[in-house]
Amino acid sequence: MSHFQVVIIGGGTAGITVAAQLKRKDAKLPIAIIEPSEKHFYQPAWTLVGAGAYHFKDTIREEADYIPKGVKWIKDYATQVLPKKNTVATKNSGHITYDYLVVAPGLVMAPELLEGLPEAMEKGIACSNYTNPEHTWEMLQKFKGGNAVFTQPSTPIKCGGAPQKIMYMAEEYFRKSGVREKTNVIFATPGTVIFGVPDFAKTLNQIIEDRAIVFKPFYSPVRIDSDKKEITFRYIKPGIKTTDIELNEKLGEQTDGESEIRMPFDFLHLAPPQMAPKFIQDSDVSIQDGPNKGWVDVDKHTLQHLRFPNIFSLGDVAALPTAKTGAAIRKQAPVLVENLMGMIQTNSLGAASYNGYSSCPLVTGYSKMVLAEFKYDNVRDSDPLISKIVDTTKEQYSMWLLKKYGLPFMYWNLMLRGKA
């Protein structure tokens, strides 16, 4: 049985960033990262890959190049977290014990939660930047017109803005390829609004109006029929039946009972349903019931576990009421590190507090981006320095350059090195 002062589950954005920052604070700290993958992916660029504006190979690096010096890499799967025993079980490396645990395995795709989606993806009828952005680009190039449907599930997902980013880029691509006039571009979402933060929603609402994009709120996908090329949505606006709403005949919509609407599609892009890894759901570290069931039970400001004080969590797996993004992790990591170092050194938390900051670089075309930054309760939280130079609520070419060149550089060279 191996023992480490700090064990980190997950060698993705969150795990590597925390390990690098901890090593900068104390180079002698015995740390292990449990991570099975030999490749590390920069997933924020997958939107651009899906639109043919970035090479997939440029989003991949060797995991070994980013494990911080002096950190033990346990190249294995975590299979169980036993917080009462300060132990993590692994697939092949036995039990690993710890003084402190950082839970950061990310989330997993769960297409099986949407009926017909696994088959649709297997047959290549549906595409998703979340799983295979190169396939999205292939489908965009083959598209000849009809209903182009973009949707997302009712589960939490990483980067809540991603399902609409590819829609904006696809709409511009359809114009360039000459098929836009015979295409209905549809954004169907279980959400009530295009975006939760009013300043940014105002811009996006104007964009969808200007580009004649059909916006369908309260549409929660429940079923895909690959043979008929139909997607069925449950209409979830409280107190409203499908018989009470006016359907868009141009889209070929049909009601199915009082709560469901069927829509044919010629192109379908969606974010698959997503969930916490099963070994997290099955562990005492997760919330056992209620709306956050399955996600790790942490204080939303300190990132310390609410029941096990020697455990912390951040990133996609943590039950935090903010968007699951790399930008959120960039602000969460230093808070977690300061509070964890406080526990290690004095057995009391550091003074750092996380305000819920997250950012969604909303790509709205091939050379335009709206940089949406916000904190808890959907309050705008734009960077004061950037805001002095540009209005981040508007589409900007400079923000596109930030997305395509600046952010990847910062990710590989600063964030994963514990410097940002």
Q: Which helix (H) or strand (E) holds 199?
A: helix 198-210
Nearest residue to 16 (alpha-carbon basis) of 41, 49, 44: 41
pLDDT at 384: 85
Structure tokens at 306: 């609410």
Q: Report, as an integer, the average pLDDT of 28-52.
A: 98
Rg of the chain over Cα atoms, rounded to whole angstroms, equals 22
Could you give the angle at the alpha carbon of 76 between the alpha carbons of 75 and 80, nearest 5°?
145
Q: Which of 344, 349, 360, 407 is catalytic?
A: 360
Q: What is the pLDDT of residues 72-111, one digit of tens each?
A: 999 999 999 999 999 999 999 999 999 999 999 999 999 9
Residue 346 identity (one-letter amino acid): T
CA torsion angle 186 188 191 194 (round to 10): -10
In 3-state terms, what secondary structure has residue 369?
strand
Half-sphere exposure in the Cβ direction for 323 (13 Å, CA): 24
Cβ atoms of 363 and 172 within 8 Å: the answer is: no
Average pLDDT over residues 2-30: 98
pLDDT band of residue 388 (cuts 50, 70, 90) is confident
Domains and CATH numbers, the chain: 2-107+276-354 (3.50.50.60), 112-273 (3.50.50.60)
**Residue 273 DSSP symbol:** P
Whole-prediction pTM: 0.96
Residues 6+ apart with CB under 8 A from 347: none
Does the pLDDT value for residue 1 go beyond 90?
no
- pLDDT of the residue at 385: 82
Mean pLDDT within 9-30: 98
Per-residue pLDDT for 339 more than 90?
A: yes
pLDDT at 127 over 90: yes
Distance CA 132, CA 116 (A): 18
- Whether 386 has a pLDDT exceeding 90, the answer reads no
In 10 A of CB 112, how many CB atoms? Answer: 10
Length of the chain: 420
**In the predicted structure, residue 383 carries a pLDDT above the cut 90:** no
CA-CA distance, 49 to 56, in Å (whole number)?
6
Of the listed ranges 108-122, 381-395, 404-418, the least confidently predicted one is: 381-395
- pLDDT at residue 67 greater than cutoff 90: yes
Q: Judge whether residue 212 has pLDDT over 90.
A: yes
- Which of these, 36, 32, 35, 34, lies nearest to 6 by C-alpha position? 32
Mapped onto helix, strand or coil, the DSSP state of residue 103 is: strand
Place of tokens 């130079």: 389
The helix or strand, by DSSP H or E, that contains position 175, with its residue range, turns out to be: helix 162-176
Residue 387, pLDDT score: 82
| pLDDT > 90: percent of the chain | 96
Greatest alpha-carbon pair distance for the chain in Å reads 67
Q: Is 127 a catalytic residue?
A: no
User: How many CB atoms neighbour CB 366 within 10 A?
Assistant: 16
Assigned token pair, 177: 């390829």
Q: How far apart are CA 41 and CA 411, in angstroms?
A: 11
| Beta strands 146-151 and 60-62, pairing class | unpaired
- Amino acid present at 50: G
Please tell me which residue in 159, 328, 349, 370 is annotated as part of the active site. Answer: 159
Predicted confidence at residue 400, as pLDDT, reads 95
User: Rounded mean pLDDT of the chain?
Assistant: 97
Mean pLDDT of 308-336: 98
In terms of Cα–Cα distance, which of 150, 143, 165 is closest to 268?
A: 150
Residues 6+ apart with CB under 8 A from 10: 33, 34, 35, 103, 104, 105, 106, 315, 317
